Structure 1
């Protein structure tokens, strides 16, 4: 399991703005270490967000996404005090799920 995500969700005029900072190495599999050996690929493949149990956003990622990715999206209908849950799964089967209360 990776390090906790930093999630901020704020509501303004019926629109919720969600900002997520994920901690992940995001190795492409093309970089070589100091000995010249290729570093194995290790990257987030799927990211999803739910609001009150309903899927609101899902994305398929690949090795081109940078280390410690930042993800920002908006959706309508969220209310202050409710929770937004974000989950990622990487190519090695590791996953992380965190949530934030809408402010």
Structure 2
């Protein structure tokens, strides 16, 4: 996937940081058929999403084919200060991955 496959926004308020991320990915389940050929479209989905705050893991999510195309995730964690870095990385079932880093505002 492309470098810009993740868009991140992170804001902190009263020692709680809210992270919002939109990932660009087809997220095929493997159960849908191509309308032209009638053949099944192979499964292609994100299996793991990891978020790190200044290098420490704050979220690990294990997904399957049941997540929609271009998934959006939002979560909160304690801590974080303006200017700290937040990094999100995903890995899919075909060996693809994407990583993006943003600064907390």
Q: TM-score range by the shorter chain?
A: over 0.9
1-side partners of 2:32 and 2:85: how far apart? 38
Gaps of 5+ in 2: none
Q: Pick which of 85-94 and 2-11 moved more.
A: 2-11
Runs of 4+ in 1 over 4 A off after TM superposition: none
2:101 aligns to what?
Answer: 99
1-side partners of 2:6 and 2:99: how far apart? 8
Structure 1 position 4, deviation (Å): 2.5
CA-atom RMSD, angstroms?
0.8
TM-score (norm 1): 0.97
1:68 aligns to what?
Answer: 70
1-side partners of 2:100 and 2:43: how far apart? 24
2-side partners of 1:66 and 1:84: how far apart? 24
TM-score (norm 2): 0.95
Q: Residues 5 and 25 of structure 2 are in contact (CA less than 8 Å); yes or no, is this contact kept in structure 1?
A: no
Structure 1 position 45, deviation (Å): 0.2
1:49 aligns to what?
Answer: 51
Matched, 1:12 2:2: no
Gaps of 5+ in 1: none
